[in-house]
Amino acid sequence: SVEAETQHQLNVIFLPYPAPGHMIPMVDTARLFAKHGVSVTIITTPANALNFQKTIDSDFNCGYHIRTRVLPFPAAQVGLPDGLENLKDATNLEIFEKVRLGILMIKDEIELLFQELQPDSLVTDMLLPWTVESAAKLGIPRLYYYSSSYFSTCAKYSIRKYQPHKGLVSDTHRFTIPGLPHNVEMTPLQLEDGLRIESSFTEFFDAVHESESRSYAALYNNFHELEGDYEQLYKSTVGKSWSVGPVSAWVYNDDERKTNRGHKEDLAQESEWLDWLNSKQNESVLYVSFGSLSRLPHSQLVELAHGLEHSGHSFIWVIRKNNESENVHSFLGEFEEKMKESKKGYIIWNWAPQLLILDHPAIGGFLTHCGWNSILESVSAGLPMITWPIFGEQFYNEKLVVDVLKIGVPVGAKENKLVATEEDAGVGREEIAKAVVHLMGKEESRDMRRRARKLSDAAKKSIEEGGSSYHNLIQLLDELKSLKITRALDTPL
Ligand code: UDP
């Protein structure tokens, strides 16, 4: 009966963190749960809902039990203009802090919604450590959601524990990360704030780690065949986890909505980029993007433009606009014109339909800032990478891509910094051109290309029936169902 079905149906709340790199994979995961029969609610704020509401509505109209609940964001109270809490325009650390405080301010409203909706489980972003208490109050499991590598977590835990970066003669001196299955070296300068030096982040990240160990399990946007050694190490040193990715390849399988994923407009409408790509030979174009947050300083944009041009290879480059001097725009405007004429380069301003572009046969490589979603999307498309990490755990991800998976060429990024300034040492045009020639020249990158294709096949298998991620998702949902039944039996009538 319908009643029996609803009694047994799992009811799961997803609470994402409002930055595109966190929001996008969690919304994909929520959609995946709904497609496997779960009743799903995504709790978010207006500027964030805007970017995926259409997708959720059309899933709902297809008969899936998925909806959003939108709570007002207290922008004025934290001193942020309306509509910026999606962090798409975060150009400084202050905005991050304001958004974090804003969410804490609506914690009571969020917890009231939890009570009203009576979920069987909470899937909440890693950056919302307080939700461990919310789940405890409701007597339900909290799943700690992390869209990044096991490698990054294992490396970070090892460095926190053994402090191999302390006492070196300089910040650019290499040390080996202890206790990993591979010999991987880093420099102190490549470590994130809060680990290399005490900062306002140290305490916050301590809370995040503590909440990770107290959560029921972790949910990773990942797949076993990609970094099984590190998944194993995570399970034996940190705790229980489930790998259910790559979620983008899974939910967007044959789904035309991948064109406006994470973006309110349908980007397929502007098909000039598609015509341009269609005119190019297979695997001849490099896709260049630094994700949703990172903006390069002017001097670095100039170096990158020259490096790309000098490489002689074709490229499609997504540039996030910033409110810097006119200089940047006049230089880039001229560069754009020049590239249009020579047909060597195509610039997309602000936001690109990344999944569509990566799947295009003309694309032969990805110059990436090593955000985890970009790496997984590159791997899913079978593309080798040029790695140019900027901040956070991106430097660990670079090591995974270059030293462990051996599907990337490092550009030589030296310093981990959320917002780089003109004064910071950047990457020079010669290094950039060299890396592009290495990756896009067919001979040198042949083995990398072969390995990337193998991983893409493995990714596709993992999400098919019988594959590792498929199996994990079914097992996880079964486990949540048994917990629900046990809870019902324990509740006095
Ligand atoms: N993305 C996109 N178009 C863009 C920039 C980013 O579709 O122009 C998507 C990209 O496909 C990925 C996410 O936004 O899914 C960015 O996440 P990632 O982890 O790569 O980097 P972050 O933005 O968190 O630094």
pLDDT 10s digits, 7-26: 679 999 999 999 899 999 99
- pLDDT recorded at residue 256: 61
By the 8 A CB rule, do 220 and 241 touch?
A: yes
Q: Which of 180, 175, 151 is nearest to 164 (CA)?
A: 175
* Cα(374) to centroid(ligand 1), Å: 6
Give the Å distances, CA to CA, from 231 to 107, 148, 242, 468.
Answer: 32, 12, 9, 12
Of the candidates 217, 226, 229, the residue with the CA atom closest to the CA atom of residue 155: 229
Output the residue whose Cα is nearest ligand 1's atom 15.
373
Side chain identity at residue 61, one-letter code: N
How much distance in Å is there from the Cα of 310 to the middle of ligand 1? Answer: 27
Nearest to 384 by CA among 312, 436, 331: 436
Return the pLDDT at 146: 95
Percent of the chain with pLDDT over 70: 93
State the distance from the centre of ligand 1 to the C-alpha of 31, rounded, in angstroms.
Answer: 18
Out of 96, 259, 292, mutate this one to test ligand 1's pocket (max ligand atoms within 8 Å of CB): namely 292
pLDDT at 71 (0 to 100): 96
Ligand 1, atom 2: closest residue by C-alpha: 354
| Residue of the CA atom closest to atom 21 of ligand 1 | 371
Pocket test for ligand 1, best of 263, 374, 375, 397 (most atoms within 8 A of CB): 374
- What is the per-residue pLDDT across 257-310, written as a single tens digit (0 to 9) for each? 666 677 776 666 568 899 999 999 999 999 999 998 888 888 899 999 999 999
Beta carbons of 393 and 192 less than 8 angstroms apart: yes
Return the ligand 1 atom nearest residue 390 CA. Answer: 25
Atom of ligand 1 nearest to the CA of 147: 19
pLDDT of 95 reads 81
Cα of 291 vs centre of ligand 1, distance in Å, is 4
Whether the link from the prior residue into 389 is cis, omega within 30° of 0, is: no
Q: Which of 267, 354, 375 to mutate to test the pocket of ligand 1 (most atoms within 8 A of CB)?
A: 354
Q: Return the ligand 1 atom nearest residue 261 CA.
A: 7
Q: Give me the residues of the chain with pLDDT under 70, please.
A: 1-7, 89-92, 254-260, 265-270, 322-328, 493
Helix (H, G, I), strand (E, B) or coil at 130: coil
Residues annotated as catalytic are 22, 125
Do residues 458 and 223 touch, judged by C-beta distance below 8 A? yes
Predicted-complex ipTM score? 0.99
Give the C-alpha distances (Å, rounded to integers) separating 454 from 54, 213, 247, 458, 460: 34, 34, 18, 6, 10
> What's the angle, vertex CA 325, arms to CA 322 and CA 330, rounded to 5?
90
Ligand 1, CB within 6 Å, residue ranges? 20-21, 24, 261-262, 289, 291-293, 318, 351-352, 354, 371-374, 377
Residue 302 and residue 262 in contact, taking contact as beta carbons nearer than 8 Å: no
Instruction: For residue 380, report the distance from its CA to the centre of ligand 1, in Å.
Output: 14
CA of 112 relative to ligand 1 center, distance in Å = 32
- Give me ligand 1 centre to Cα 488, in Å: 41
- Alpha-carbon distance of 392 to 192, in angstroms, equals 5
Measured over the CA atoms of residue 396, residue 397, residue 398 and residue 401, the dihedral's sign is positive
pLDDT at 122: 98
Q: What is the 3-state secondary structure (H, E, C) of 251-320?
A: HCCCCHHHHHCCCCCCHHHCCHHHHHHHCCCCCCEEEEECCCCCCCCHHHHHHHHHHHHHHCCEEEEEEC
- The Cα angle at residue 26 between residues 181 and 353, in degrees rounded to 5: 95
Residue of 186, 193, 192, 194 whose CA lies nearest to 165: 186
Q: Assign residue 86 a region: left if phi > 0, alpha if psi is -120 to 50, beta otherwise?
A: alpha
- Which of 22, 23, 24 gets mutated to test ligand 1 (max ligand atoms within 8 A of its CB)? 24
**Which residues lie below 8 Å from residue 418, measured CB to CB, with a gap of 6+?**
93, 193, 390, 391, 392
Q: What is the structure's pLDDT at 294?
A: 82
